[in-house]
Amino acid sequence: MQDEKGTEMLIKKLGSVKTVDWGNGLSRRFLLDSDDVGYSVTDTLVLAGTSSNLQYRDHVETCYCIAGRGQLVEEDGTSHTIEPGTMYSLNENDAHTLTASPSEDLRLVCVFVPPLRGNEIHDLGSEYSTY
């Protein structure tokens, strides 16, 4: 389908997008760098009871929680409850720990700028995993 500028509109369904096991869950990558829109969009599942030390040195990430519950703890110890309807936005180099509730998976819609290439995974054995 073309938009009013004559370019192809992107339509993707969950079952057909690239899915990456990032270590403590799944990242379903709807938009990637190759889609040439300037950002990427993921549907990210964080498995119940997991905790991930994360840092994005090359990206700005914004996440919107659509299901589940969890905690986001900033590097300075500030803690935030993440639940449906909560959005958080991280700048480059914002180290944080994301922990999903022990009883339910956490599901986030995430936007990355610049966009992900698609094959990035976390190294959860390091102090803060980055890509």
Determine the Cα–Cα distance for residues 111 and 29; give it in Å rounded to an integer: 10
Q: Which residue type sits at 104?
A: E
pLDDT at 4: 53
Superfamily holding 18-115: Jelly Rolls (2.60.120.10)
Between strands 70-74 and 40-46, the pairing is: unpaired
pLDDT at 113: 94
For 32, 55, 77, 103, 115, the CA distances from 92, given in Å and listed in that order, are 18, 8, 18, 30, 13
Q: What is the pLDDT of residues 11-57, one digit of tens each?
A: 999 999 999 998 899 999 999 999 999 999 999 999 999 999 988 88
Q: What is the pLDDT of residues 62-109, one digit of tens each?
A: 999 999 999 999 999 999 999 999 999 987 778 899 999 999 999 999
* Of residues 65, 57, 70, 80, the one with CA closest to residue 127: 57
